[in-house]
């Protein structure tokens, strides 16, 4: 076998990985021992035969051999498979080759215990793992366990025979198992490493690989066409997570029973070995199969389809479905029993309630509609087709016709996670609404405290109450169903909007004051934050209020005003957002350079050629209007993000069509007052007002005459019959 050939193959696979855009994530590398190892993996795609050995070689530098269907050993492909060390399933010496490699630590091995691809992921019957395919329906074969156990037993026999000069045993092992003693095997122990491969998302549909194949071959067999469609999409667009579980040390695993059996007199060593094999083969197989599937990485699709399956009724409100998905994902994350895909990251999931496009939900929702899993009855109500999960679909068609059933089968193996979802689906709407709101709010505050502790700076950090996002409820009957999201400005914190929050809360509104990422902690936190992060921070507040309010208003100051306008441009039709207020928002600053007392020329150079000058100037100290709240150090990267936000907002203004109030100080020393006029002209709102107030400072919501601003807002809301 040519190691060089395998190296070339890995190079080609690496090249294809980049060309196709295949997204591999690999975890658990630390679980791979520096010992002879048999990797046992779940089998869902044909391409695993190629990319799993490549990944192992890439991450460990060690070659792992695998078996391949005997039908593939023809022509050039057959020569290639032989060259890289793959062994045919019909090779008469197959078992001896595997055992020999493991005994001597020459090569590791990858075995798929299911025997063939399990396209349906239907792998459990009566608590036993089964191979459910057109070719075989029965318990998972124990061959991989037997081969791994044999390698451990035969190695020990070789060592003992060599040590004791037992030539008869050495001859027996050579004649029957092609094994001879070699120096160095004394310190070896065979390990089994469970290997889980999880794909997300699994989708049917046209793809580049399928397109190329159709050009080359005019008439592709139906089964191959299905594999090209599903696996082509996986290789070109899905995340492929490969996880190496904790290894099973076979010497330790069989130690106690082996000691007992070896004490039996008269019986030959070969018979004793067979006793051990019979005792452990099924036990070991079930154990590593359980480990393989319990390491499944839970993703958004899993939770989506499980919520539909276990919801006790056939009709469900769309918002309630999202609440169930959110809270189920939160509890699964909190359990720390499972590996969780980034698609169910708690901070990301609140976007479910943002009234904006959320790819993870929208994509699987549309798939569910197209495959008749659900039907839309009206804009807020869907019907679940429970019968879809009972349909018998041909093995080679199920991934195409009922993709989510495959996903559901995979998730159903995770008993505790399934139990969580069953429990959550039983909550009434009031219960789950309260739980989800509290979770979003608490996570928002915890996120701030985590950032604060991580970035704390004795010189620059304020008290935590300055930067903490906050919520004011409203028990008044009037306006009880209307919430207002308040958003502070650049280099500032939620405390900046606190006076306005109290004013609006006292006249009857629920208030959620957000903290923009990178703010309220320490100035260098801004260096690690993007304008997209700021936008997402605003949506957390919006999402929380959307759970408990029928209508939402967003009021933003300065940078917060830009985010308010941008948010209004992105909301879907029929969203809860009913009005916006933008205060002192900059499409153009008076003079960026003038804000920095020193190095004006250098600052201009940084502004024009930022990428070239980044190392020369990271920040500039300044003197904020409210030093008890604002940062007194301005990071250049933060200003660059602010400029990007201004440009993004400017491009989106024509999409804003909600009632809007634009407020601007006439003599603002930071924001060019023309910005307000431009915003007013560019937005497409039928109801819009421009209020130019007589202020000489920038932070007009926190100055002595702020009541003038507050009354403008109150009058605007009154005109809209929102107050």
- What kind of architecture, by CATH, is found in domain 432-719? 3-Layer(aba) Sandwich (3.40)
DSSP state of 589: B
Task: Give me the residue spans of the domains in the chain.
Answer: 3-114+140-201+238-289, 298-427, 432-719
pTM for this entry: 0.92
The predicted pLDDT at position 612 comes to: 45
Per DSSP bridges, beta strands 470-472 and 510-514 are antiparallel
The predicted pLDDT at position 599 comes to: 41
Backbone angles phi, psi at 551, to 5 degrees: -135, 150
The predicted pLDDT at position 71 comes to: 78
Q: Residues in the chain with pLDDT < 70? A: 1-12, 15-16, 476-479, 591-617
Q: Which of 33, 34, 89, 30 is nearest to 65 (CA)?
A: 89
Q: Which of 200, 193, 136 is nearest to 411 (CA)?
A: 200
The predicted pLDDT at position 280 comes to: 96
The predicted pLDDT at position 478 comes to: 63
Rounded Cα distance between 423 and 311, Å, is 10
Per DSSP bridges, beta strands 577-583 and 551-557 are parallel
| DSSP conformation letters of 380-423 | TEEEE-GGGGT----TTTHHHH-HHHHHHHHHHT-HHHHHHHHH
Rounded Cα distance between 324 and 312, Å, is 12
């Amino acid at each position: 076998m040519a190691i060089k050939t395998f190296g070339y193959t890995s190079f080609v696979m690496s090249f294809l990985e980049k060309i196709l855009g295949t997204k591999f994530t690999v975890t658990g590398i630390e679980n791979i021992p520096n010992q002879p190892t048999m990797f046992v993996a779940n089998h869902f795609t044909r391409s695993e035969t190629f990319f799993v050995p490549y990944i192992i070689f890439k991450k460990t530098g060690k070659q792992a051999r695998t078996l391949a269907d005997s039908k593939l050993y023809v022509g050039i492909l057959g020569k290639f498979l032989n060259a890289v060390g793959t062994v045919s399933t019909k090779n008469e010496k197959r078992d001896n080759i595997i055992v020999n490699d493991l005994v001597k630590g020459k090569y590791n091995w990858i075995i798929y215990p299911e025997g063939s691809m399990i396209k349906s992921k239907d792998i459990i019957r009566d608590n036993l793992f089964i191979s459910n395919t057109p070719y075989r329906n029965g318990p998972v074969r124990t061959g991989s366990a037997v081969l791994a156990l044999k390698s451990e037993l035969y190695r020990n026999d070789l060592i003992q025979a060599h040590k004791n000069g037992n030539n008869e045993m050495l001859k027996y092992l050579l004649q029957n198992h092609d094994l001879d003693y070699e120096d160095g095997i004394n310190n070896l122990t065979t390990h089994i490493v469970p290997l889980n491969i999880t794909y997300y998302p699994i989708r049917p549909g046209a793809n580049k690989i399928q397109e190329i194949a159709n050009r080359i071959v005019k008439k592709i067999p139906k089964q191959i066409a299905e594999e090209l469609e599903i696996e082509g999409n996986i290789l070109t667009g899905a995340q492929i997570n490969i996880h190496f579980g904790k290894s099973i040390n076979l010497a330790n695993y069989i130690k106690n029973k082996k000691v007992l059996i070896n004490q039996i007199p008269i019986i030959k060593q070969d018979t004793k070995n067979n006793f051990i094999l019979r005792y452990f083969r099924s036990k070991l197989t079930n154990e590593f199969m359980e480990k393989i599937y319990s390491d499944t990485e839970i993703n958004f699709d899993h939770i989506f389809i499980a919520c539909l399956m276990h919801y006790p009724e056939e009709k469900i409100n769309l918002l309630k479905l999202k609440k169930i998905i959110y809270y189920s994902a939160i509890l699964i994350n909190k359990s720390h029993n499972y590996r969780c895909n980034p698609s169910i990251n708690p901070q990301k999931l609140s976007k479910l309630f943002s009234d904006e496009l959320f790819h993870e939900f929208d994509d699987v929702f549309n798939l569910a509609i197209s495959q008749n899993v659900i039907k839309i009855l009206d804009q807020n109500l869907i019907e679940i087709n429970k019968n879809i999960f009972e349909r018998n679909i041909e093995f080679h068609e199920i991934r195409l016709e009922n993709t989510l059933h495959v996903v559901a089968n995979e998730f159903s193996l995770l008993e505790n996670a399934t139990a969580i979802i069953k429990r959550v689906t039983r909550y009434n709407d009031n219960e789950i609404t309260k739980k989800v709101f509290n979770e979003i709010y608490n996570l928002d505050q915890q996120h701030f405290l985590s950032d604060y502790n991580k970035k704390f700076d004795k010189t620059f950090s304020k008290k935590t109450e300055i930067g903490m996002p906050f919520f004011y409820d409203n028990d008044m009957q009037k306006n009880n169903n209307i919430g207002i999201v308040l958003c502070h400005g650049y280099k500032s914190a939620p405390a900046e909007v606190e006076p306005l929050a109290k004013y609006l809360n006292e006249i009857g509104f629920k208030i959620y004051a957000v903290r923009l990422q990178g703010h309220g902690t320490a100035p260098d936190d801004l260096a690690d934050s993007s304008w997209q992060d700021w936008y997402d921070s605003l949506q957390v507040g919006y999402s929380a209020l959307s759970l408990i309010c029928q209508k939402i208003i967003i009021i933003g100051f300065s940078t917060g005003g830009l985010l308010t306008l941008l948010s209004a441009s992105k909301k879907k039709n029929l969203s809860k957002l009913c009005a916006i207020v933008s205060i002192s928002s900059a499409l153009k600053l008076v003079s960026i350079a003038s804000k920095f007392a020193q190095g004006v020329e250098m600052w201009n150079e940084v502004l024009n050629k930022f990428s070239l000058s980044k190392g020369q100037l990271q920040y500039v100290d300044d003197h904020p209007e409210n030093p008890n709240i604002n940062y007194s150090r301005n990071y250049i990267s933060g200003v660059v993000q602010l400029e990007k936000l201004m440009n993004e907002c400017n491009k989106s203004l024509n999409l804003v069509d909600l009632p809007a109030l634009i407020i601007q100080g006439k003599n603002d020393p930071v924001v060019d007052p023309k910005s307000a006029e431009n915003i007013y002209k560019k937005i497409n709102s039928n109801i819009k007002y421009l209020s130019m107030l007589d202020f000489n400072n920038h932070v007009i919501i926190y100055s002595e005459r702020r009541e003038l601003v507050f009354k403008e807002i109150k009058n605007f809301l009154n005109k809209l019959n929102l107050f």
